[in-house]
Structure 1
Amino acid sequence: MGLDFGGGYRLRAALAEDHAGLNMVCLRTGDSGKDATEREDDPDLLGLIYAVPYQVYEPDFAFVVDGPNGVCGYIFGAPDTPGIYAKMAADWFPPLAARLADPGPDESRWQGSDWARYAIRHPEFVYPDVLHRYPAHGHIDLLEEARGRGIGRRGMEHVMAKLRRAGATGMHLQVSPVNRGAQSFYRKLGFEVLKDEVLPRHTTFMVTGL
């Protein structure tokens, strides 16, 4: 079951044939909500890290936003964070890593999509004890054309309700520290920033009970 947002926009289940669209949306929102096309030399890697595996491993909680021009956003949920991380570590990233050169750990030498190649070859799964009260997590990205229509709020509420019905007691998100708009959006949905010394400093964690 999806949602009709009006104006030719609707939420529906994400399918395997949407992978190219997921990669496109992830790329065009990949610079803290802005278009990362000019920055990346491999246009698919962002989506293969942050979008496609959610459709593959949690299809019941994976949705795309269709608009007049096709896929223009996605909303993903994962009710069991350690479970999906284990699948990604064992089955998703190793085959991708096998076809990518390792750019090495020296960030000063990285160019283009080297940061993504490194992330695929050395994936970071953050789920310390402080997040265990919020075992679900999610991602949302919308192209500019789909913003300001209430799509994000209604879509997130839909996914959060599904996660709650699946038994998740809380949810966490990772947000770019410089993306103030996204942080404000999540606050309106009941999320708040969680600060703890065990959490990485390069990203902001926001949490809410379900």
Structure 2
Amino acid sequence: MNITIEHPTINDLYELEEICLLTSDSGKDGTHLYSDRRLIGQIYLTPYVLYDPTCCFVAKKDSKCIGYIVGCYDSREFYQYLNNEFLPIIRNRFTSAITENDKAVINMIQNGVEYEIYPQYLPHLHIDILPEGQGLGLGRKLIDTFTKNLKDHGYNSVHLGVSNTNKSAQGFYKKMGFSTLIEKPWGYVLKKDF
């Protein structure tokens, strides 16, 4: 078994969008939540890879994508790109909603993503790993790689959001040194200084 961690390319997007879908139900397979397999990735994955792949990493096992960590150095700049450049390009492709989750994501695509800025925690991340990649220390490796990259670019902190229903991820982030920045109705914004 050969596991590598590298920056993603456009050629990885299909596999990465599948991982995003297959982990979109609080870490479990979310296929039943969306009528279009690519939809959820249009908010939580694809724009990061297209915006700045140097702030994204993919884990591959024998050349197959099994996990990723994507993010940005400056959340303000990323959300401006997302709302003003990326979403307008895809708006006409994603218009019909069948499920409630479709409606929520399509609403973001059509109307833009609302966001909060945490000035001391400008970078943020999303991480997803398929079950076959879990328990191998891959989550730790991805976060360590990501935070080292942030340090190399002059940043010393990061934040992320985690659902209040995803207890497994909450435990993992706690082990990784994250703590609560703010509690939200949907879950928690966690922070880490390094």
Q: Could you tell me the TM-score, scaled by structure 2's length?
A: 0.92
**Larger deviation: 179-188 or 112-121?**
112-121
Q: Which stretches in structure 2 are left out of the alignment for 5+ residues?
A: none
The question of 1:206 aligning with 2:190 is answered yes
Question: 1:166 matched to which residue of 2?
Answer: 153
Where in structure 2 are the equivalents of 1:108-123 lying within 5 Å?
A: 110-111=99-100, 113-123=102-112
Q: Which stretches in structure 1 are left out of the alignment for 5+ residues?
A: 1-6, 104-108
Question: 1:40 matched to which residue of 2?
Answer: 34
Question: 2:11 matched to which residue of 1?
Answer: 17
Q: Could you tell me the TM-score, scaled by structure 1's length?
A: 0.86
2: distance between equivalents of 1:187 and 1:9? 25
- Measured after TM superposition, the shift of residue 96 of structure 1 is 1.4
Where in structure 2 are the equivalents of 1:116-195 lying within 5 Å?
A: 116-128=105-117, 131-195=118-182
Greater helix content: 2
The structure with more radius of gyration: 1
Q: Is the 8 A contact 1:177 1:203 kept in 2?
A: yes
Q: Is the 8 A contact 1:37 1:43 kept in 2?
A: yes
1: distance between equivalents of 2:26 and 2:13? 21
Question: 2:66 matched to which residue of 1?
Answer: 72
* CA gap 1:158/1:69 in 2 versus in 1, 3 angstroms: closer
2: distance between equivalents of 1:185 and 1:126? 24
1: distance between equivalents of 2:174 and 2:101? 33
**Larger deviation: 36-45 or 111-120?**
111-120
> Once the two structures are superposed, what CA deviation does each residue of 1:3-28 show, in whole Å capped at 9, x if it has no partner?
xxxx2222111001111011100000
Match for 2:114: what amino acid? Answer: F
Q: Is the 8 A contact 1:102 1:118 kept in 2?
A: no
- Measured after TM superposition, the shift of residue 102 of structure 1 is 6.5
- Measured after TM superposition, the shift of residue 32 of structure 1 is 0.7
- Measured after TM superposition, the shift of residue 110 of structure 1 is 4.8
Task: Tell me the number of residue pairs that the alignment of Structure 1 and Structure 2 aligns.
Answer: 194
1: distance between equivalents of 2:92 and 2:188? 30
RMSD: 1.8
- Runs (4+) off by over 6 Å: none
Match for 1:97: what amino acid? Answer: R
> Once the two structures are superposed, what CA deviation does each residue of 1:43-89 show, in whole Å capped at 9, x if it has no partner?
00111110111111111111111114711111113111101111111
> Once the two structures are superposed, what CA deviation does each residue of 1:117-155 show, in whole Å capped at 9, x if it has no partner?
122112333224xx2111110111000000000011011
2: distance between equivalents of 1:143 and 1:110? 24
- Measured after TM superposition, the shift of residue 34 of structure 1 is 0.4
